[in-house]
A and B are shown apart, each in its own frame.
Chain A
Amino acid sequence: MSSDNAPHFSSRDAVVCRGVGKTWAAGTKRAHHALADINLDVAPGEFVVFLGPSGCGKSTLLYLIAGLEDATEGRLWSFGDLVETPSPQRSLIFQETSLFPWLTVWENVSFGLSIRGASKEERRTVAAEALQRVGLKAAMDKRPDELSGGMRQRVAVARALAMRPKVLLMDEPFAALDVQTRARMQEFLLDVWRDSGASVLFVTHHIDEAVALADRVVVFTSRPGRIKTIVPIDMPRPRNLFSREAESLRIQLTDLLRDEVDRAFAEQEAFAVPA
């Protein structure tokens, strides 16, 4: 049997986490244990949603999977290879907008290609195609500060798609959008996901969003974030979010989350009161 510490892992899953944990600023006074004991397997083409109270380490886990930060405990693999550095195979869409303000929309979208030294025509074609998918082809030559927050987030999605990633990591990408726009973006994301065949790991606070999107919902505990339960959702797509099944899922997830949020608040209160 191969050891868990081997650089190659027998499983060809899109993401494999074994005993993963993260302590920020480890070894200093400000050390903060953000994440612990994460064991998770994400199949190729699977849509997994992370749900958990604020500050429980969801973003941290995405950073670890993206390879932007090193895990302080455990190991991660992607398609059998140890995750050590970032890779174009795993695109991360950040919680805050992260477009380059000095580049036009299409230059932003094709930034990854320009890194590889692609020609201008090729970059423009790819950018146009990716922007077409997010419905922003008309805004190609605009600058990010000329766009609304939602449009910027869509450009960020287009930029991630232009890399043709096998794993798409999304950190609350639609948090700032209004309900209608968010619903449209969810539909659009599901289309993109189906077309691309990529695995999606999607962080959200919204239970509705989790029910609308996920194959599996991973619910986190607070401080340090651990996996509390994994709730599979078998509803066929397109989903009827007003069905009895959807309703009972919402109730189940709300209950799971409420306990954790209560606990997180109680702990924060305890921290705030001087001993």
Chain B
Amino acid sequence: MSDLLAALTLQAGYNAALVAIGAALLGFAAGAAGTFLFLRKRALVSDAVAHATLPGVGLAFILMVALGGDGRSLLGLLAGSAVTAGVGLLLVEWIARRTRLAEDAAIGAVLSVFFGIGVVLLTVIQTMSSGRQAGLESFLLGSTAGMLYLDAVVIAVGGALSVLAVWVLRRPMTLVSFDPDYAAACGYDVRRIDLAMMALVMAVTVIGLKIVGLILIVAMLIVPPVTARFWTERAGRVIWIAAGLGAVSGYVGAAVSASAPALPTGPIIVLTATALFLLSLLFAPARGVLAAVLRHRRFQRRVHRRQGLLALARGELIHDPLTLSVLRRAGLIRADGVATEAGRAQAAKAARDEHRWEIARLVNQDTALTGRYDGLTPIERVFTADQIAEFDRHLGPPRPVAGDAAGA
């Protein structure tokens, strides 16, 4: 436990602290950039980008060895991965635009084919004399154990630069993600902003390779934005909430992972983000599952109550068991199905409101108002007391409702 505390307070060693800060910065940038993809319904484009880094890593290694290096320079490998990731991204867009194939097919094709080529290159590297201990497989799942100081610096600096890019792009990014047409009308070059955002996604992916690996980096781009969406309907906020969630996941994940052995960084970061997602899915106030279930039950009961009252008013038999139980619980009918005093009064009111609506459609010229009829909205909420009084003049005095409507 004290190990965990030490790690969370950045006292678990210089490298670990750098990695934790780097992961937090990276998570922040990933959350923001991922929001852009998510809102444009292109979340899984990031999956293609991520898998397309593998051949780049292999090619960069081969190239660096051919040029006489030992091939393991992180910066070089990341540069290589960025190149093929970019090519993969362009191919996805080209296929989706130029052929009848949809984007999802293009994504799947690019990610699997590039990964396949990457695997081929890895087997080629294994046959090279200098390739036996290349350790390029660590890019699949990421690994921070025994990370070099220089690598940690690359990650921290890269993370900081991505956050800076998010800050610079924040305004066009918000506009373009929520309303590209409006952004274009405001004079932004949507195509260029799109490109800048995809470049940011690529940068995040590439920087994240060493920490979380190419398979899980996708999670940092997808999970925080999806989680953030549960907490707000407001445009600009999703981005910052997602960035915050990403930063928390990155930081906590990296720190927890540094605190004990056998806690791989990538999975811990992702699972932290997943935990936040699950909490939001279940308990978020407006969009959460719990709230939605309660709301739906309330709504269904409202509908059945209203339908039951109208049936009472028309003297029809009610068969629907839910309607009967709703009316009974509200004390509007007795156990034997006969309407109570209150039930008769409310039924009369419901029937009268229906008739008021009918009159409203006949005499009121404003279809925006009469169009708000949906069977449930109280007429008092749409029309003023004066208007309702006028409808009542057409309607004549109220009439009572008899009480024996509900059948067994």
Q: Are chains A and B native binding partners rather than an unrelated pairing?
A: no
A residues neighboring B (CB under 8 Å): none
